[in-house]
């Protein structure tokens, strides 16, 4: 199993943006030095839930300050980007990083309508824009004298420069928040990014993913390759003891969760606009999402406890865990300690369990 750090730094106070951005760069450099497989970058706008906001420009900074670690997007919200401009930017970062990019794409947020409003985009167009953009980017990287005419884009260009470092193009993966989207990736023989889910749901979806690939005619080797390239998101807090982890980590996680919901509620109450139908008057009760349920979302405890939690997911058979170490307004030194404990004591334990 591979491990990546989800650099998703919350910053409630705009006056602290510079400090939090600087600390996030330091976090990436630490993970590079400790030999972690990857760092992953989010995209969220206007609410302080992700201090650096734009994963594309921030990826360039990470590429320039690290040496070996892969840099993934989880995800770039394609409805908010011009596909040719993004293809150019990714090509440049692919060259800077010498092929260390994992281009994770998604239709855009399923919850924060203000992400769309701020860019003047109709959220109902998001999925179709994603499909067109993916096709445009791949062809722009691999085709000269390229033209495209679709529902949203009418494009011609002689050649995209700079040319990509990775051949034929950087590795691409799509986020799938729901089961149906995941099955679409399975039928196409492609890996996917899974959002926070309980272990039972992870098991159910991975079993279904494998069986759907098999039914689509893919052999065992191809199925295993795709499984190895699939990533699952979890929050994490590691401390010296279980008591310390719960005392410090649980309030940080709860504060992070509450802050992420606050702006959504504020915009709905002020403007009557939301993507979350459960907030609307008269809506049927909605099952609480796994990302908001502590026992499903957060790996928390001493190194030995967290190793057991990670081993349970590893037994399901997934390629990697995208672990968010910085919870809410956690101080940098607390985050650094959690990362070091994980890499020094948890990751080696998982390796030993798998080899046994």
What is the reported pLDDT for 15? 98
Residue with tokens 């990014």: 193
Residue 351: pLDDT band with limits 50, 70, 90: confident
pLDDT band at 230 (very low <50, low <70, confident <90, very high): very high
- For residue 164, is the peptide bond before it cis, meaning its omega torsion is within 30 degrees of 0? no
Please tell me the least confidently modeled range out of 136-150, 170-184, 203-217, 269-283.
269-283
DSSP state of 329: T
Euclidean distance between CA atoms 276 and 289, whole angstroms? 11
For the segment 307-321, the average pLDDT, to the nearest whole number, is 97
> pTM score, two decimals?
0.96
User: What's the angle, vertex CA 144, arms to CA 138 and CA 147, rounded to 5?
Assistant: 70
Say whether 304 sits in a helix, a strand or coil: helix
Per-residue tokens: 226? 């795709």
User: How far is residue 140's CA from residue 83's CA, in Å, rounded to a whole number?
Assistant: 9
Residue 237: closest CA among 334, 313, 105: 334
Q: Residue 217 burial (CB < 10 Å; 0-12/13-18/19+)?
A: exposed
242 class by beta-carbon count within 10 Å (0-12 exposed, 13-18 middle, 19+ buried): middle
pLDDT recorded at residue 353: 57
Cα–Cα distance for residue pair 259/265, rounded to 1 Å: 10
Burial 61-89 (b: 16+ CB within 10 A, else e): bbbeebeebbbbbbbbbbbbbebbebbbb
pLDDT for 355 beyond 50: no
The pLDDT of residue 108 is: 86
Residue 288 has what pLDDT? 85
Nearest to 71 by CA among 49, 47, 95, 48: 95
Spatial neighbors of 225 by CB under 8 A, at least 6 apart, are none
Considering the chain, what is the average pLDDT of its residues?
95
Task: State how far the Cα of 19 lies from the Cα of 332, in Å rounded to an integer.
Answer: 10
What string of DSSP letters covers 199-248? HHHHHHHHHHHHHHHHHTT--HHHHHHHHHT-EEEEEEEE-SSHHHHHHH
What sign does the CA torsion over 283, 285, 290, 294 have?
positive
In degrees, rounded to 5, the angle at the alpha carbon of residue 59 between the alpha carbons of residues 54 and 64 is: 140
- The pLDDT of 316-326, averaged and rounded, is 97
pLDDT at 10 over 80: yes
pLDDT for the residue 356: 42
In the prediction, which pLDDT does 111 show?
A: 85
Residue 254 to residue 269: CA distance in whole angstroms? 22
Distance, in Å, from the CA atom of 27 to the CA atom of 306, rounded to the nearest integer, reads 20
Nearest to 67 by CA among 45, 18, 34, 108: 34
Neighbours of 203 (CB within 10 A): 17
DSSP state letters, 148-174:
EE-SS-EEEES--SSPPSSSSS-EEEE
Structure tokens at 66: 């690290």
Is it the case that residue 279 has pLDDT exceeding 90?
no
Q: Report d(CA 313, CA 200) in Å as an integer.
A: 9
Domain residue spans of the chain: 2-355
Spatial contact of 100 and 164, defined as CB atoms under 8 Å apart: no
Contact residues for 107 (Cβ-Cβ < 8 A; gap 6+):
77, 78, 79, 126, 127, 129, 130
CATH 3.30.750.210 fits 2-355, yes or no: no
């Amino acid at each position: 199993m591979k491990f990546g750090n989800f650099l998703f730094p919350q910053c409630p106070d705009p006056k602290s943006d510079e400090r939090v951005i600087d600390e996030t760069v330091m976090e990436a450099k630490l993970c590079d030095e400790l030999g972690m497989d990857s760092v992953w970058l989010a995209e969220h706008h206007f609410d302080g839930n992700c201090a650096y906001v734009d994963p594309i420009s921030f990826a360039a900074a990470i590429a320039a300050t690290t040496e070996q670690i892969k840099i993934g997007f989880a995800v770039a919200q394609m409805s908010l980007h011009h596909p040719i401009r993004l293809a150019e930017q990714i090509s440049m970062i692919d060259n800077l990083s010498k092929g260390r990019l994992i281009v994770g794409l998604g239709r855009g947020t399923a919850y924060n309508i203000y992400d769309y409003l701020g860019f003047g985009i109709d959220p109902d167009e998001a999925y179709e824009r994603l499909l067109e953009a993916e096709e445009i980017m791949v062809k722009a990287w691999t085709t000269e004298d390229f033209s495209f005419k679709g529902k949203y884009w009418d494009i011609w260009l002689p050649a995209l420069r700079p040319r990509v470092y990775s051949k034929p193009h950087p590795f691409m993966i799509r986020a799938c928040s729901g089961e149906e989207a995941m099955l679409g990736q399975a039928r196409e023989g492609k890996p996917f990014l899974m959002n926070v889910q309980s272990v039972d749901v992870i098991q159910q979806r991975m079993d279904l993913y494998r069986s759907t690939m098999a039914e689509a005619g893919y052999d065992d080797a191809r199925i295993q390759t795709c499984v190895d390239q699939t990533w699952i998101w979890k929050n994490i807090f590691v401390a010296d003891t279980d008591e310390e982890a719960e005392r410090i980590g649980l309030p940080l996680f709860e504060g992070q969760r509450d802050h992420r919901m606050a702006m959504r509620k504020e915009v709905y109450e002020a403007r009557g606009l939301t993507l979350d139908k459960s907030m609307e008057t008269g809506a049927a009760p909605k099952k609480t999402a796994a990302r908001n349920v502590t026992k499903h979302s957060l790996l928390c405890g001493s190194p030995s406890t967290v190793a057991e939690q990670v081993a349970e997911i590893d037994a399901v058979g997934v390629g990697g865990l995208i672990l968010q170490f910085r919870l809410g307004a956690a101080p940098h030194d607390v985050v650094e300690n959690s990362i070091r404990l994980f890499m020094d004591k948890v990751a080696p334990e998982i390796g030993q369990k798998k080899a046994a």
